[in-house]
Structure 1
């Protein structure tokens, strides 16, 4: 990757010059301000889980996933921006602080994003306007910092006019209409922007990836934050219950599920993804960064959030001998399946070998939902651990054998 020219000295106008795009080196890692920025998404993930749990229905889960997808688009946008310029320099830090306020307001209104509470402001409209502010700030920051890249500015212009602004307008229209129509309009806005963004840059367009290390680490950290939600879910389910042996055992089992989710992503896949990105440049690099990370990682995060909901529901009834029920079983099973499907897609895109164990995990997790529904909560959590543990063990064994064969071949050569 070529290094940028050194910044020119400030002229007599006294205008503040922005830093040049990042390159590999000490500034190519995630800044502490980006980590601080992500804290608002921790609260947002918690609110999404709360919406699912309180509605306790398929419709509520669908609404929550729509909200999660909208929030995901905001996070992705700022990830692309911070990959261009260090987020801890004054200009970006100021703008991203405004965005943090907007995201937090969105998170606050998640419980009434589709069903306004009595009194106060109209929740759906507050969410839509705050969301629009977050996206508008992102566009302003990106345009200002792209003054030295005419191709990127053209890409931003086309993208904002044809995708971002229409989607934001649709959210406001949907909030004004309300009811079931609102959900469909917001869902279509997500699909419209997602398809439009990809269609407008089939070969990578004018987008840039300035630091592979930063890009990979950035997405790994958002996965960690989602896993943190699965840990929080354990405590939420039993926070007001007297401690008991079933709670202790359920806690241990639930933490093992979270660890296995972590292992499934970080033990090998995250490293393979970064190494694959590092071998690319130009359009192919941008396409892989967009498809494998901006798009596919949403499935991974959504799977973790759904699994966390299942864990919370199971832990809330961990001392009951009664069956877990369809809601908790569907959340747990579909969450594991969606996470596995996301990692399969990611593995295929980055060239990882033999993701078929993940396919088996996704299938078994899905078809076992009726079984999980009739099992007591503790047994359902144990079944999930057994399934994920077997897949992790088999996959680890296969990769270990393959690595040993490659090492022997290299030695012989």
Structure 2
């Protein structure tokens, strides 16, 4: 007989990410690196439409697989042997998916679909185990999740069976259904996810994505230096990219967000918005790689096009973090305008051409400085 698992309490004290969750997250580094590399190659070769479309679809698969596990584990993580084994199976699915990313960019989704099958079968097993250990509305919610995940996985078969021209339609329809499953499943009973734990999990994954961005940019600069020995052109890009990533870290972690996650509506909107946060953060690394290639004549696009590969995702990151994350803790017009104005200035740096990356880095660093100054003024202002 299977051992039931019980939901954890929302008010549980000292709830923190477990070593198994951290191990699970690290498996996604491979998939994110593969998606970023394919995006950089497509952009550098002058195929932005193909590259962006493939990246958006593949990053959705990566992000959604991580989301499914993270919210389930926040509510039901028992860390017993069966739970660990099923989670390890999910991790194997992540690695299969990562191996299939290059082929998926060429419209061969077989390996990605197989990796997703492994992850989703494990996820359905977890939800059925949760249903076995519960009664009433909680049981119906767990069974609804299991059914919804299964139906969606069958829907993804369209990527394999339908003509290539139908891929965007399949992605929109089945992706929309995937996003609808949590809301539909939790209409009668809300899973007991832990706000502080969820905020920590998202923060840790943000660090992983930014770390992968730094790694991708570092390898690109190292490769270009070895091949062309042009430090005068490459070091400003490296320095500007590093400033941009450091500022992204600072801005994301400037405010504690868990107090805003009071119910499913706020939490789901915040969680779904991180598709753009994570995706744009990872794309910054791909953009820096493209800028490096262009600076040494190894990219089939202009200096302004290469600049946009960095400034576009950089501006998108700043704007999205403000929209779903930071604005809830800003007071007054000046504080609220800092990130939107900074996003516009970063985007304007595109017109600096090969100087765009260091310029964007300086804008991002100035954004942090202004934010710190305004916060300190607010903290030291006399109470009325």
Equivalence for 1:10: none
Q: Report whether the alignment pairs 1:286 with 2:272.
A: no
Q: Report whether the alignment pairs 1:171 with 2:185.
A: no
Q: Among 118, 138, 147, which residue is 1:152 paired with? A: 138
CA contact (8 A) 1:358 1:391 kept: yes
Q: Report whether the alignment pairs 1:35 with 2:19.
A: no
TM superposition score normalised by structure 1 = 0.81
Equivalence for 1:120: none
- Deviation of 1:226 after TM superposition, in Å, equals 0.7
TM superposition score normalised by structure 2 = 0.87
Matches within 5 A, 1:364-379: 364-369=345-350, 371-372=351-352, 375-376=353-354, 379=355
Equivalence for 1:304: 281
Q: Report whether the alignment pairs 1:264 with 2:264.
A: no
Structure (1/2) with the larger helix percentage: 2
Give the Cα separation in 1 of the matches to 2:367 and 2:375.
12
- Deviation of 1:192 after TM superposition, in Å, equals 2.9
Figure out how many residues of one structure are paired with residues of the other and give that number: 370
CA contact (8 A) 1:311 1:332 kept: yes
Equivalence for 2:13: 25
- Deviation of 1:390 after TM superposition, in Å, equals 2.6
Gaps of 5+ in 2: none
CA contact (8 A) 1:40 1:103 kept: yes
Give the Cα separation in 1 of the matches to 2:7 and 2:152.
31
- Deviation of 1:96 after TM superposition, in Å, equals 0.8
Seen in structure 2, the aligned counterparts of structure 1 residues 101 and 295 have a Cα distance that, compared at 3 Å, is same
- Deviation of 1:211 after TM superposition, in Å, equals 2.5
- Deviation of 1:159 after TM superposition, in Å, equals 4.2
Give the Cα separation in 1 of the matches to 2:39 and 2:377.
42
Give the Cα separation in 2 of the matches to 1:266 and 1:324.
35
CA contact (8 A) 2:251 2:368 kept: yes
Give the Cα separation in 2 of the matches to 1:37 and 1:44.
12
Equivalence for 2:175: 190
Give the Cα separation in 2 of the matches to 1:264 and 1:166.
38
- Deviation of 1:348 after TM superposition, in Å, equals 6.5
Give the Cα separation in 1 of the matches to 2:23 and 2:104.
25
1:208 is paired with a residue whose SS is: coil
Q: Report whether the alignment pairs 1:131 with 2:112.
A: no
Matches within 5 A, 1:183-332: 183-198=168-183, 201=186, 205-240=188-223, 241-242=225-226, 245-246=231-232, 247-268=234-255, 271=256, 273-277=257-261, 280=262, 285-292=263-270, 294-318=271-295, 325-332=303-310
Gaps of 5+ in 1: 1-12, 117-122
- Deviation of 1:290 after TM superposition, in Å, equals 1.6
CA RMSD after TM alignment: 2.7
Greater relative CO (CA pairs within 8 A, separation 6+): 2
